[in-house]
Structure 1
Amino acid sequence: MDLRFLGGAGEVGRSAILVNDSLLLDYGMKTDTPPQYPVGSVDPEAVVVSHGHLDHVGAIPTLLSGDRRPPIHWTPPTRELALTLARDTLKLHGGTYDCPFTETEVKRVTQVSEAHGYRETFTAASHEITFYNAGHIPGSAHVLVDDGDTRLLYTGDFHTEDQRLVSGTTARPDADVVLCESTYSDVEHSERANIEERFAESVRTTLWEGGTVVVPAFAIGRTQEMLLICAAHDIDCYVDGMGKQVTEMLRRHSEFVRDADALKRAKSHARFVTGRDGQRKRVADQNTAIVTTSGMLSGGPAMTYIPEIRDRPTNKITMTGYQVEGTPGRELLDTGSAEIDGRVMPVAAQVESYDFSAHADRTGLLAFLDAYRETPVLVNHGDRCGAFAEELTADGYRASAPDLGETVTV
């Protein structure tokens, strides 16, 4: 089996692996300025997608330009999330370099889409494929690829611990080689229950003191997790941004969430912001929590809320995910100010950060890989792939970290 690494090798973003020159695993984009896409040209017979995050699906419509019509295989939630992200990219950047596809190509995605559940084996480009729950976001999958000679386990992004939205992965299918993500290979997450309790106590304190809490959150997965936490701790909250649409969609795919009834209650507990007639400014003046995109303050309704609440020390901004260097969210954490709508704004409101990551940490990665001690491991999707591969090798694994553009035969 030949694996060509078109993206995601030694980096987080633009994941893309070509198997045997015919089967493409993921096709994402890296949200730099300007955005980066997988390297080289590719014309696959079929595409298999692990999950619906921009760094894994962001460039999918470009595969359908011209006469090309490869079938795209994914779980039902991943299909809907990919289409939601593509339409959002068109809305924000259509007709510019930041959007490499057109509305026509997005429509073609629906024509070639083939959805599959977990543990339902199917054929793509003469390979047998099976999805297993990866515990990352709803619909996320480990992808087992069998070409008749070699079984490759592509982990995609995964988590080994339970979240309120999805249960951690327990799947350990037999494989001849493992291609493993390594996003948090040098990080240990705190106990999830402790993080959640600290967050809830902080928000409750601010609300009791008469303040407003803005909770920036990624639309996919994180927004729903925060709504579940707010409902569980009886925290008054609004929800705004793309996360509203994603929450509604996940209600239709209840078999891919951990507790469909809990998600239903969380949706009922929250109030949805329409954004009409100055509603956002009125909500910002209320004694409430506001869960809103974007998670790194790089756009979305957060750009309305932050200027409204920034000048009062009784207010609070609680970051809920990793802040990439160069984003306004990272700038706010590091300097106490952020560039919002083209101007740098000092922020007097309190700023806190909570690690609600949906990725396995170092302990989780090692626990997962322990089932594959006799199996070669290829490390990707991380800023320190080479270092983690060396650490695995020192622990007795046969591990390596492919380079961008490299072809590896396994």
Structure 2
Amino acid sequence: MELRFLGGAREVGRSAICVDDRLLLDFGADSGNPPKYPIGDPEPDAVVVSHGHLDHVGSIPTLLSGADRPPVHWTPPTRDLALLVLRDTLKLRGGTYDCPFTRTEIARLTQVSTVHGYREPFSILGGADGEGYDVTFYDAGHIPGSAHVLVDDGETRLLYAGDFNTDDQRLLAGTSARPDADAVITESTYAETTRAARETVEADFVESVQQTIWEGGTVVVPAFAIGRTQEVLASCAAHGIDCYVDGMGTRVTELLRRPANEPFLRDSAELARASANARVVDGRDGQRRRIAEGSNVIVTTSGMLHGGPAMTYVPAIRSNPINKIAFTGYQVAGSPGRELLDTGRVDLDGTVRPVSARVEAYDFSAHADREGLRTFLEPYRDARVLCVHGDRCEAFAERLGADGFDAAAPALGDVIRIADGVES
């Protein structure tokens, strides 16, 4: 089995791995400015997708711009989430040079889509000679519908772990799947981080929010639309905190409550309670301004302040030190959110302004941390381990190697043969 790394190698974003030049595992995009897409010009016979985040699905429509129509395999939530974020991407970029696909390619994507559940093996690319792959999805515990992808060609078993979490969240259980494999491709996003228990993070968040509300302030909670918004809403509902929800996260919540997607949740009733507890903002007639002027909790996109309704609320509350901005996810270097955390200032319509409101950060991450990664990998000491999707993949691979693992961190464009090691 031959693996070609087209994206996500020694970087976070644009994940894409080609197997035997036939099967593509994810095909994402890095949504930076300017955006980045996978290298090369693959023409796969089929595509298998681990989950619905943009950095794993953001380039898939480009595969359908020509005459080819490779089938795309994913879980029902991943299909729905991918279509949502791709349509949103097209809307935001408006067919400019930043967006390499059109509405036509997204429509074609719906025509080639095939959905599968967890632990339901399916075969792809088997011809008259019988050569092909058996593929199985396993719950990765990252976001609803996220999957580890096991690919078996009859001789080699490859586990593409995708993004995963080993700790329980309110809406998802941590992954417990450890299928036998000869090689494992693992993320290393938080290989350098040890985080507090989720219960502790949530308790600290809730106490802080309640304190601000008691003082008469407003709390703006920037949250990623997929997964994080729903987790925060569930936390608020569980602790009796009334809140508003604004932005793309409202559409994601509705999508996840579809009957076909509810089985991919740990507790669909908890999401229903979270949804009922949150008042949806439609943004009409100055509604956002009035909400910001009250003593309210507002869960809104975007999670890193790149745009969205958050950039209406933040200017409205920034001058009052009783108010609070509570981040719930990682702020990438160079993002407006990171700038605010580091400097206490934020760019508002081209002008950098000071923020007097308190700024806090809570690690609600849906990725495995250092301990979670090691717990997941422990059964694979006899397998080849390939570290991707991280800022320090090489350091993580070196530490694994020092502990007896056969580990490496492929670079962008590298080709790895499972039995032979790295080739350029």
**TM-score normalised over the length of structure 1:** 0.99
Within the candidate set 291, 305, 311, 1:303 is matched to 311
Give the structure 1 partner of residue 287 of structure 2.
279
Within the candidate set 373, 388, 394, 1:380 is matched to 388
1:119 match: secondary structure: coil
For residues 350 and 293 of structure 1, the distance between their equivalents in structure 2, rounded to whole angstroms, comes to 19
The 8 Å contact of residues 23 and 124 in structure 1, kept in 2 or not, is answered as no
Within the candidate set 358, 361, 375, 1:353 is matched to 361
For residues 84 and 95 of structure 2, the distance between their equivalents in structure 1, rounded to whole angstroms, comes to 18
Please identify runs of 4+ aligned residues in structure 1 that moved more than 6 A.
Answer: none
**CA offset digits 1:237-277 (Å, max 9, x no partner):** 00000000000111111111111111101100000001111
1:50 match: secondary structure: coil
For residues 158 and 218 of structure 1, the distance between their equivalents in structure 2, rounded to whole angstroms, comes to 16
Offset of 1:225 from its aligned partner? 0.2
Give the structure 2 partner of residue 201 of structure 1.
207
For residues 350 and 338 of structure 1, the distance between their equivalents in structure 2, rounded to whole angstroms, comes to 13
Give the structure 1 partner of residue 329 of structure 2.
321
**CA offset digits 1:134-171 (Å, max 9, x no partner):** 00000000000011110000000000000011100000
What is the one-letter code of the residue matched to 1:200? Answer: V
Offset of 1:30 from its aligned partner? 0.9
Q: Which runs of 5+ in 2 are unaligned?
A: 126-131, 419-424
What is the one-letter code of the residue matched to 2:15? Answer: S
**CA offset digits 1:87-112 (Å, max 9, x no partner):** 10111102212211001001111000
Give the structure 2 partner of residue 122 of structure 1.
122
Give the structure 2 partner of residue 91 of structure 1.
91
What is the one-letter code of the residue matched to 2:386? Answer: L
What is the one-letter code of the residue matched to 1:175? Answer: A
1:123 match: secondary structure: strand
What is the one-letter code of the residue matched to 1:310? Answer: R
What is the one-letter code of the residue matched to 2:33? Answer: T
Offset of 1:278 from its aligned partner? 1.4
For residues 284 and 181 of structure 2, the distance between their equivalents in structure 1, rounded to whole angstroms, comes to 52
1:262 is the counterpart of 2:258: no
Give the structure 2 partner of residue 213 of structure 1.
219
Offset of 1:376 from its aligned partner? 1.1
1:157 match: secondary structure: coil
Offset of 1:124 from its aligned partner? 2.4
Give the structure 1 partner of residue 237 of structure 2.
231
Offset of 1:341 from its aligned partner? 2.4
For residues 89 and 384 of structure 2, the distance between their equivalents in structure 1, rounded to whole angstroms, comes to 37
Within the candidate set 278, 289, 292, 2:300 is matched to 292
1:91 match: secondary structure: helix
**CA offset digits 1:290-333 (Å, max 9, x no partner):** 00000000011001100111110010000000000111000000
The 8 Å contact of residues 328 and 340 in structure 1, kept in 2 or not, is answered as no
For residues 276 and 78 of structure 1, the distance between their equivalents in structure 2, rounded to whole angstroms, comes to 31
Give the structure 1 partner of residue 148 of structure 2.
142
For residues 234 and 348 of structure 2, the distance between their equivalents in structure 1, rounded to whole angstroms, comes to 29
What is the one-letter code of the residue matched to 1:351? Answer: V
2:27 match: secondary structure: coil
For residues 31 and 306 of structure 2, the distance between their equivalents in structure 1, rounded to whole angstroms, comes to 11
For residues 294 and 60 of structure 2, the distance between their equivalents in structure 1, rounded to whole angstroms, comes to 41
Offset of 1:216 from its aligned partner? 0.1
Give the structure 1 partner of residue 421 of structure 2.
none
1:39 match: secondary structure: coil
For residues 331 and 314 of structure 1, the distance between their equivalents in structure 2, rounded to whole angstroms, comes to 21
For residues 98 and 200 of structure 1, the distance between their equivalents in structure 2, rounded to whole angstroms, comes to 39
The 8 Å contact of residues 127 and 148 in structure 1, kept in 2 or not, is answered as yes
Offset of 1:340 from its aligned partner? 2.2
2:405 match: secondary structure: coil
Offset of 1:286 from its aligned partner? 1.7
1:26 match: secondary structure: strand
Q: Which runs of 5+ in 1 are unaligned?
A: none
For residues 289 and 354 of structure 1, the distance between their equivalents in structure 2, rounded to whole angstroms, comes to 15
What percentage of residue pairs aligned between the two structures are identical?
Answer: 67
Give the structure 2 partner of residue 240 of structure 1.
246
For residues 300 and 56 of structure 1, the distance between their equivalents in structure 2, rounded to whole angstroms, comes to 22
1:6 match: secondary structure: strand
For residues 405 and 21 of structure 1, the distance between their equivalents in structure 2, rounded to whole angstroms, comes to 13
Within the candidate set 117, 128, 139, 1:133 is matched to 139
**CA offset digits 1:323-365 (Å, max 9, x no partner):** 0011100000000011122221211100000000000000000
For residues 286 and 84 of structure 2, the distance between their equivalents in structure 1, rounded to whole angstroms, comes to 25
For residues 111 and 374 of structure 1, the distance between their equivalents in structure 2, rounded to whole angstroms, comes to 40
For residues 384 and 394 of structure 1, the distance between their equivalents in structure 2, rounded to whole angstroms, comes to 16
For residues 63 and 317 of structure 2, the distance between their equivalents in structure 1, rounded to whole angstroms, comes to 43
The 8 Å contact of residues 303 and 341 in structure 1, kept in 2 or not, is answered as no
Give the structure 1 partner of residue 19 of structure 2.
19
1:39 is the counterpart of 2:39: yes
